[in-house]
A and B are shown apart, each in its own frame.
Chain A
Amino acid sequence: MSLLEIKNLKTSFTTEQGMVQAVRNVSLSVDEGEIVGIVGESGSGKSQSMYSVMGLLSENGIIEDGSIVFDGKEICPIKFDGTQKEWEKYMESIRGNTISMIFQDPMSFLNPVLTIEKQLIEPILNHRKKLNRDQLHTMAVELLTRVGIPSPAERLKQYPHQLSGGMRQRVIIAIALACSPRLIIADEPTTALDVTIQAKILELIKDMRKNLGSGVILITHDLGVVASTCDRVYIMYGGKIVESGTADEIFYEGVHPYAKGLLACVNNPEVDDNELRPIPGSPPDLLAPPAGCPFVDRCEHAMKVCKLYWPKEKSLSDTHKVHCWLTEKGSI
Chain B
Amino acid sequence: MEPILKVENLKTFFPVATSMFGKKKYLKAVNDVSFEVFENETFGLVGESGCGKSTLGRTIVKIYEPTDGKVWFEGKDVSTIKGDELKKFRKDAQMIFQDPYASLNSRMTVGEIIREPMDIHDLYPTSKEKDEKASELLEIVGLKPDHIRRYPHEFSGGQRQRISIARTLALNPKFIVCDEPISALDVSIQAQIINLLEKIQEERNISYLFIAHDLGAVKHISDRIGAMYLGSLVEVGESNELYRNPLHPYTRALLSAIPIPDPHLMRNREIAAIDGEIPSPLNVPSGCAFRTRCPMAMEVCAKDTPKLRKVGNSQVACHLYD
A residues lining the B interface (CB < 8 Å) = 41-43, 164-167, 194-200, 202-203, 221-228, 247-248, 251, 261-263, 265-270, 272-274, 276-283
How far apart are the CA atoms of A200 and B278 in the complex, in Å? 14
Q: Which 3 A-B pairs have the closest CB atoms?
A: A224-B259, A265-B191, A278-B191
- Let me know if B156 and A262 touch, CB within 8 A: no
- Let me know if B190 and A195 touch, CB within 8 A: no
A-contacting 9-mer, from B24-32, B79-87, B125-133, B266-274: B266-274
- Let me know if A269 and B258 touch, CB within 8 A: yes
Neighbouring A residues of B114 by C-beta, 8 Å? none
Task: Decide yes or no: A265 and B277 within 8 Å by CB, A195-B258, A224-B258, A224-B261 being known contacts.
Answer: no
Among candidates B192, B219, B259, residue contacting A199 with C-beta atoms closer than 8 Å: B259
- Let me know if A224 and B260 touch, CB within 8 A: yes
- Let me know if B262 and A227 touch, CB within 8 A: yes
Neighbouring A residues of B217 by C-beta, 8 Å? 267
- Let me know if A42 and B273 touch, CB within 8 A: no
Q: Looking across the interface, which residue of chain B has its beta carbon closest to that of A202?
A: B259
- Let me know if B262 and A268 touch, CB within 8 A: yes
- Let me know if A203 and B219 touch, CB within 8 A: no
Shortest Cβ gap from B4 to chain A (Å): 23
Neighbouring A residues of B240 by C-beta, 8 Å? 272-273
- Let me know if B277 and A221 touch, CB within 8 A: no
Among candidates B190, B265, B266, B267, residue contacting A265 with C-beta atoms closer than 8 Å: B190
- Let me know if A278 and B192 touch, CB within 8 A: yes
Residues of B136-160 contacting chain A, CB below 8 A: 142, 156-159
How far apart are the CA atoms of A222 and B158 in the complex, in Å? 16
- Let me know if A270 and B265 touch, CB within 8 A: yes
Interface 1/0 per residue, B42-66 and A, CB below 8 Å: 0000001100000000000000000
How far apart are the CA atoms of A89 and B303 in the complex, in Å? 61
Among candidates B220, B265, B267, residue contacting A274 with C-beta atoms closer than 8 Å: B220
Shortest Cβ gap from B134 to chain A (Å): 19
Neighbouring A residues of B220 by C-beta, 8 Å? 267, 269, 273-274, 276
- Let me know if B273 and A196 touch, CB within 8 A: yes
How far apart are the CA atoms of A265 and B195 in the complex, in Å? 10
How far apart are the CA atoms of A228 and B254 in the complex, in Å? 16
Among candidates A42, A225, A276, residue contacting B186 with C-beta atoms closer than 8 Å: A42
How far apart are the CA atoms of A78 and B77 in the complex, in Å? 68
- Let me know if A200 and B273 touch, CB within 8 A: yes
| 5 sampled A-B residue pairs with Cβ under 8 A | A42-B186, A196-B273, A199-B257, A265-B191, A265-B192
Q: B38 an interface residue at 8 Å Cβ cutoff?
A: no
Shortest Cβ gap from A325 to chain B (Å): 21
- Let me know if A228 and B191 touch, CB within 8 A: no
What is the number of residues of chain B that contact chain A, defined by CB distance less than 8 Å? 46
Neighbouring A residues of B296 by C-beta, 8 Å? none
- Let me know if A195 and B158 touch, CB within 8 A: no
Q: From B186, B192, B261, B278, name the one whose CB has the most chain A CB atoms within 10 angstroms.
A: B261
Shortest Cβ gap from A258 to chain B (Å): 8
A-contacting 9-mer, from B102-110, B115-123, B208-216: B208-216
Task: Decide yes or no: A194 and B263 within 8 Å by CB, A200-B273, A280-B192 being known contacts.
Answer: no
- Let me know if A199 and B273 touch, CB within 8 A: yes
Neighbouring B residues of A268 by C-beta, 8 Å? 216, 260-262
Shortest Cβ gap from A18 to chain B (Å): 14
- Let me know if A228 and B266 touch, CB within 8 A: yes
Q: B302 an interface residue at 8 Å Cβ cutoff?
A: no
- Let me know if B277 and A267 touch, CB within 8 A: no
Neighbouring B residues of A194 by C-beta, 8 Å? 48-49, 213
- Let me know if A276 and B262 touch, CB within 8 A: no
- Let me know if A167 and B271 touch, CB within 8 A: no
- Let me know if A265 and B187 touch, CB within 8 A: yes
Q: Looking across the interface, which residue of chain A has its beta carbon closest to that of B194?
A: A276
Among candidates A199, A262, A270, residue contacting B187 with C-beta atoms closer than 8 Å: A262
Q: B189 an interface residue at 8 Å Cβ cutoff?
A: yes
Task: Decide yes or no: A198 and B257 within 8 Å by CB, A42-B186, A273-B240, A277-B191 being known contacts.
Answer: yes
Q: Looking across the interface, which residue of chain B has its beta carbon closest to that of A196?
A: B257
